[in-house]
Amino acid sequence: MRKVVFALWMLILCPSIGAEGTETQQVLERLDTVIAQKESYRSRKEAKIGELKQKLRQASSASEKYRFCNSLFYEYLHYQADSATRYLNLKEEINPDPIFPDSKAEHTICRAEVMSVMGMYNDALLELETINPGRLGEETRLKYYYACRSCYGWLADNIVDPQVKQKYLEKTDLYRDSIAQFPLNETDRTILMAERLTLNGNPDEAIPMLDKQLATVRDMQYLSYLNYTMYDAYRAKGDVEKQIYYLAQTAICDLERVVREYASLQKLAWLMYEQGDIDRAYCYLNCSMEDAVSCNARLRFLEVTEFYPIIDRAYREKDEHEQSVVRGMLMGISVLSLLLIVAVFYLYHWMKKLSAMRKSLYEANCELKNSNATLAQIGKIKEVYIARYLDRCVGYLEKLEQYRRSLEKLAMTSKIDELFKTIRSDQFLRSEREAFYREFDKSFLDLFPNFIEDFNKLLVEEGRIYPKPGELLNTELRIFALIRLGVTDANRIAHFLSYSLATVYNYRSKIRNKAAGDKERFEQEVMNL
């Protein structure tokens, strides 16, 4: 939740640098990552120092010990000033060549460098004043001028009095000019020229030079110097976003080199505070303070503590505001959650009711469908049988008329014997009954074409009934055809088939005994075919 609130505040308060995807935002995100991984860089630094210490312990000659002490001094110089002093003293003790004319001066320069890191600039100048540069070799003299320029530059940065500040700036310029007289590499010369152009009010001329050099240099120390000089140029122009960009680049180089004495991150922290990015300002300031204390860089620590209370107070106010917002949001979420639970319970209650209603409706629909199917079937049966019954009745009336005429004809011709013979004969009734049964069988099978097959599925295999060739239905099938039509009364069946009641009972009983399933439900299953 706090991350969400933080993101919203970043978008609202930091419009100038909060646009996602800008170079400035990207380099700030990279810086955040480097700070988060600071311990891994420190571990690599400590491992390198540990290797040098091991080599120092194993060294047998004074020159080797001197060389490793010198390496350890420079590893500790901007990392831990007290340890740098210790290895400087050890280096002086084991100097393998005290006759070397510049050795004493070199040690003094190193001591002044440590004092400068510790913020003891006046003491550093007193040490440097003991050196006569005219008696130094070219390499040592260049080192001396760099130390003097750095010391006066730091003093100028931290002096409030404008007259004194101007005096130190002039001193810095003089030593810069002295350095420029030496054969320097391209990067060193570019940095000197850019510094001079910026101080003389020409940052637009300095920037292209630095840009060109930044594109070619890969050394982290030089990249740090170039980016910081670029920051100075854009500060002279008043371009805040570019200042943030190049200070962030400088800080990345410093942190990756595991330099603990630096000005880049605290300057960047103040700029981020001015831009409203309190979280980053607080993070960067804490990192600067931690490194200054670890390095024993007193001046850097004092620089941080000057505006630490301001940023700390702003951070705490912002944090309290965010917490109140979070608490309000949590209360809102709690209320909404409660309402949601009530709504879910209410919905669940009604869903159960709806489910029961749907089930009842489904069952009613099924019953309705079955009823409709039955009614449709009954309607079809009635339709077919009524039509055929009417046809049969008309036909039967015509046959009765023909029969009457034939009897009348016999009577008129006085063929009494033949008349009595005809009247006594049942041939007419037998043939009509057979015709009626054929008509019934045909009509039934038209309605239920699969009746014989479906009926036999209800019987065991050896008890299945099939009509003889030329027959549509036999007596057994006809009895159960009537049952299928809903005629279950034995008297009606016997009357329909002109059988005795006992005969019908026997047929029904015999067939039930051949049922494959429940004998008691056999006739019900026939009715469902």
Q: Which H/E stretch holds residue 210?
A: helix 203-214
Coil vs helix vs strand at 459: strand
Residue pair 24/241 in contact by the 8 Å Cβ criterion: yes
- Determine whether 288 is exposed, middle or buried from the number of CB atoms within 10 Å of its CB (0-12, 13-18, 19+): buried
Coil vs helix vs strand at 515: strand
Domain ranges in the chain? Answer: 371-425, 426-527
Q: Output the DSSP codes for 299-332.
A: HHHHHHHHHHHHHHHHHHHHHHHHHHHHHHHHHH
The token pair that represents 234 in the structure block: 């854009």
Q: Count the Cβ atoms, other than its own, within 10 Å of residue 425.
A: 10
Nearest-angstrom CA–CA distance, 174 and 168? 10
pLDDT tens digit at each of 529 positions of the chain:
444 444 444 444 444 444 434 889 999 999 999 999 999 999 999 999 999 999 999 988 888 898 999 999 999 988 888 899 999 999 888 876 665 678 888 899 999 999 988 888 889 999 999 999 988 889 899 999 999 998 988 888 777 788 888 888 888 889 988 998 888 899 999 998 999 899 889 999 999 999 999 999 999 999 999 999 999 999 999 999 999 999 999 999 999 998 888 788 888 988 988 888 888 888 888 888 888 888 877 666 556 666 656 666 755 766 666 676 777 788 888 888 888 888 888 888 888 888 888 888 888 788 778 767 766 666 666 666 655 654 666 566 566 666 667 766 766 776 676 766 666 656 767 777 788 888 888 888 888 888 888 888 888 888 888 888 888 888 888 888 888 888 888 888 888 888 888 888 888 888 888 888 888 888 888 888 7
pLDDT at 394: 52
Residue pair 458/526 in contact by the 8 Å Cβ criterion: yes
Q: Which H/E stretch holds residue 522?
A: helix 522-527
pTM above 0.75, yes or no: no
pLDDT at 194: 93
Nearest-angstrom CA–CA distance, 256 and 34? 7
Which of 233, 280, 254, 292 minimizes the C-alpha distance to 13? 280
